[in-house]
Chain A
Amino acid sequence: MIASFIPILAIDVIGSVFMVVIAFLCLYKARLLREMDPDNAVFLYLLWISTGFTVFALSRSFGHILRQFLILTSTAETWHAISSYSGSINTVSFMLVGLITLFFNQSWNINEKILSGRKKLEETHIKLVDLNQTLEHKVVERTEKLTSSEHKARRIFEQSLDTILVTDEKFNISEINPAGVTLTGYKKEDMLANQMGLKNFLAQGSEWKRIKHLLETREYILNDETDFLRPDYSQIRVLITGGVDYGAFGCGKTFHFIIKDINDKRQMEQQIAQADKLAALGELSAGVAHEINNPLGIILGYTQLMLKEDSEFEEDLKTIEKHVKNCKTVVSDLLSFSRKGTLEKSLVNVAIIIDGVVKFLANHTDFRNVKIQLKRLKKDRLMIYGNEQELSQVIINLMINACHAVNKKGTIQVAIKKTGDNQIFITVKDNGTGIRKKHFSRIFDPFFTTKPVGQGTGLGLSVGYGIIRRHGGDITARNRKEKGAAFTISLPLALTKDNIKEDRSNT
């Protein structure tokens, strides 16, 4: 059969060229895919297969074109010589393509695993981001709470009126609040620099041994009463509560103490006890005085009757009369102390009373070498509702005591002060020997005296106490920081027009 060679030649040559061109285009597209997603195993597979097809197309097309060329140029022998090589390369190339193709399933599975892994990774990442955000939120929330809590704790620590003290395990101070600085009287820097501890504040060394023993055995102390000694040698009564804290988050063992200043409370308790005692003594004295007063009156009456007639016992009777009168005075004083005496009250000016007393005593022989200083308010119209005579007696008693305290040679200060709550304070100070500590609880007791026997009845202060209490006031005694003692009388101002007006203008 004879046929045209043109269709075979044309299709062979043009087809070969197309094969190469399209194969390279495939390779280009496969590379694009690969660049778009380098981690995609299927795209990698497509790149491999496109490469295989390109090799196949090149080898095949080269062989076909060369064959046609050699046949047309009548050098078919040459083609026969190289045809086996061309055919072999062609065989290898499409076997390579076939081999690569068979890996599609594996490539797909690998890609699926990669995608699945990536998806899980993304999901985990989202969860992680979410968790991270939640964690951040919680951290912010907790930090805010912690800051707020720390702020509250710090405020309690800083603002507390009681001392809050923290020590390390060796009882050296590591923290102390401002109230503690005020109470102890030491500077905070000094306390920390000198490694001071609780024991440095205690007035008695033996107290520390006891407290330390309690802390070491019981690990706490509760409302333990002791005295603190301040740098100025003044003592303060305090109540200590403390315990051990073994710490958390790697903190060391610490001791925490709360220290209350009970000095004022204790003084008040002592004053109340004193007042109760004096009230009881007053009741007793009143009873005794009443029982003695009548027999004394009878004795004095009969004695005076007998003195009206001449008698060989006149001197003896006079002695009896004198001592009975003395007894009557004592009984009268006792009645004054026990509030049983008569009392006529009226509006009196305290300033005028004090002026009068000072003038009267300034001329007294005992006060000849005593310097009396009177500190008065400029507008002294200090009206109170009371008995002028009794109040004068109280001031006189105080000044006489002061005179004896300075041994009739020194300075006595009398000061009048008014406070906003309608109280006036009269203070009598001296620069004498002061009051001994052990006498403080007894100075207002009837018949208590430090003077030699026969020189004082011991009723001056107790009578004064009774008078002032009856006037709705109070009397207290203290030793001065400088030298000597100070007695302070507080009395309520009467509600006169002047006082109210002055009070309003002050307000």
Chain B
Amino acid sequence: MVFAGWILLPLDAYATQLHANSEGIVTHQIGHLFFLFSMVVLIFTITGKGLDKQKGWRLIQYSAFFFILWNLDALTAHFFDNQIQAVKIENISLTQIKVIANNGSTVLAWFYYVLKLDHLLCVPAMFFLYKGLSSLVNEQRQVIKKKDTP
């Protein structure tokens, strides 16, 4: 009877788990950490294989280093504004903003302002990657030239 009642009178199952609003920023932060970790691994792998003696790979190492810095920058900035919401920005006009630190610290406000200039890290990182690849292209051209020379 109980079994029959259980079958014939079903209740809500709640099969899909509900996600809290903070999940997004946590996932984003994990992503940054993963990116950072992969860049650290890349630096050590290049060194471990002795590739840092080649200019191209050394430049790629520099690129990875700047991406690490950029990830640290982004992680810190997201930590303050999205995770603990210690800092927020308000647009006063087209040219001015107001950085508000919840604890009223001006140092934190200025630190956050500097953190917001993260392109100063990721653009050099991309540039070093480009230079590294260019250097590898040149090396490869020389290798081909040597092979073709009788």
B94 interface contact, C-beta 8 A: yes
Contact string, A146-183, partner B, CB cutoff 8 A, digits 1/0? 00000000000000000000000000000000000000
Residue of B nearest to A103 (CB): B38
By Cβ-Cβ distance, the 9 closest A-B pairs, closest first, are A15-B119, A98-B38, A29-B133, A101-B38, A1-B109, A98-B35, A22-B126, A91-B31, A5-B97
The size bracket of the interface on A is 35 or more
- Residues in A with CB closer than 8 Å to B24 are 84, 87-88
A72 to B98, CA, bound (A): 15
Q: Mark B86-110, 1 if CB is under 8 A from A, else 0.
A: 0000011111111111000010011
Which of A32-40, A354-362, A409-417, A447-455 forms contacts with chain B?
A32-40
A25 at the interface (CB under 8 A from B): yes
Contact B31 A33 (CB under 8 A): no
State how many angstroms separate the Cβ of A82 from the closest Cβ of chain B.
13
Determine how close the nearest CB of chain A comes to the CB of B97; give it in whole angstroms.
Answer: 4
- Given known pairs A4-B95, A26-B130, the reply for A101 and B41 (CB within 8 Å) is yes
Choose one: A8, A37, A71, A97; the contact of B116 (CB below 8 Å). Answer: A8
Instruction: Decide: A108 and B49 in contact? CB cutoff 8 A.
Output: yes
Q: Are B28 and A18 in contact (CB under 8 A)?
A: no
Q: A residues within 8 Å of B by Cβ?
A: 1-8, 11-12, 14-16, 18-19, 22-23, 25-26, 29-30, 32-33, 36-37, 46, 50, 53, 57, 60, 71-72, 76, 84, 87-88, 90-92, 94-95, 97-99, 101-102, 104-105, 108
> In the assembled complex, which residues on chain B have CB atoms less than 8 Å from the CB atom of A71?
91
Residues of B within 8 A of A18 (CB): 119, 123, 126-127
Which residues of chain A are near B98, meaning CB under 8 Å?
1-3
The answer to whether A5 and B119 have CB atoms under 8 Å apart is no
Contact between chains at A5 and B91 (CB < 8 Å) = yes
Are the C-beta atoms of B130 and A22 separated by less than 8 Å? yes
Pairwise interchain contact B133-A99, C-beta atoms closer than 8 A: no
A5 and B95: CB pair below 8 A?
A: yes
Given contacts A33-B136, A98-B34, A102-B38, contact A91 B27 (CB under 8 A): yes
- By secondary structure, the B interface counts as helix
Q: List A contacts of B119 (CB < 8 A).
A: 11-12, 14-16, 18-19
Question: Residues on B close to A: CB < 8 A?
Answer: 24, 27-28, 31-32, 34-39, 41-42, 45-46, 49, 64, 91-101, 106, 109-110, 113, 116-117, 119-120, 122-123, 126-127, 129-130, 133-134, 136-137, 140-141, 144
Q: Do residues A29 and B130 form an inter-chain contact, with CB atoms below 8 A?
A: yes
A239 to chain B, nearest CB (A): 69
- Can you show 7 pairs from A to B with CB atoms below 8 A apart? A5-B97, A18-B123, A29-B137, A36-B144, A72-B94, A91-B27, A98-B38
Chain B residues with CB under 8 A of A97: 35, 38
> Does B126 lie within 8 Å of A8, measured CB to CB?
no
Q: Which residue of B lies closest to A112 (CB)?
A: B49
Known pairs A3-B99, A90-B28, A101-B42; list 8 more (Cβ under 8 Å). Answer: A1-B100, A3-B110, A4-B96, A5-B96, A22-B126, A26-B126, A88-B24, A98-B38
Query: Do B97 and A19 have beta carbons less than 8 Å apart?
Result: no
List B contacts of A72 (CB < 8 A): 94
Asked whether, in the complex, the Cβ of A99 is within 8 Å of the Cβ of B95, the reply is: no
On whether the beta carbons of B32 and A94 are closer than 8 Å, the reply is: yes
Q: Is the CB of B99 within 8 A of A6?
A: no
Cβ–Cβ contact B28 & A87, under 8 A:
yes
Q: Are A8 and B42 in contact (CB under 8 A)?
A: no
> Smallest distance from the beta carbon of B27 to chain A beta carbons, Å?
6
Kindly state the separation between the CA atoms of A5 and B95 in the bound complex, as whole angstroms. 5
